[in-house]
Amino acid sequence: MSDAGPAHGTDNGPLAVICGGGALPFAVADAVGKRGRRVVLFAIRGWADPQRVAAYPHHWASFGQFGWFCRVAQREGCRDVVLIGSVVRPAIWKIRPDFKTLRLLPRIVGLLRGGDNRLLKGVAAIFEEHGFRLIGAHQIAPDILMPEGPLGRERPTAGDQADIATALALLDATSPFDVGQAVVVADTRVLAIEAAEGTDRMLARIAELRRGGRIAPGSGKGVLVKAAKRGQDQRVDLPSIGPHTIEAAAGAGLAGIAVVAGSTIIAEAEATAAAADRERLFVIGVRDHTATR
Q: Contact residues for a second copy (CB under 8 A)? A: 88-93, 112-115, 166, 169-170, 173-174, 176-180, 183-184, 187-198, 201, 205, 209, 213-220
Smallest separation, CB 181 to a second copy (Å): 12
On whether the CB atoms of residues 21 and 86 are closer than 8 A, the answer is yes
Smallest separation, CB 249 to a second copy (Å): 16
- What DSSP element (H or E) covers 42? strand 39-44
Smallest separation, CB 221 to a second copy (Å): 13
Q: Which residues of 271-292 are buried (b: 16+ CB within 10 A; e: fewer)?
A: ebbebbbebebbbbbbebeeee
Rounded distance between C-alpha atoms, residue 24 and residue 84, angstroms: 7
| Nearest to a second copy of 214, 289 (CB atom) | 214
| Nearest to a second copy of 97, 150 (CB atom) | 97
| Nearest to a second copy of 6, 213 (CB atom) | 213
Smallest separation, CB 31 to a second copy (Å): 30
Q: Give the closest residue to 198 by CA, choosing from 94, 110, 288, 86.
A: 86
Smallest separation, CB 175 to a second copy (Å): 9
| Nearest to a second copy of 98, 187 (CB atom) | 187
| Nearest to a second copy of 12, 166 (CB atom) | 166
Q: Give the closest residue to 164 by CA, choosing from 261, 250, 230, 93.
A: 261
Q: Give the closest residue to 64 by CA, choosing from 85, 90, 86.
A: 90
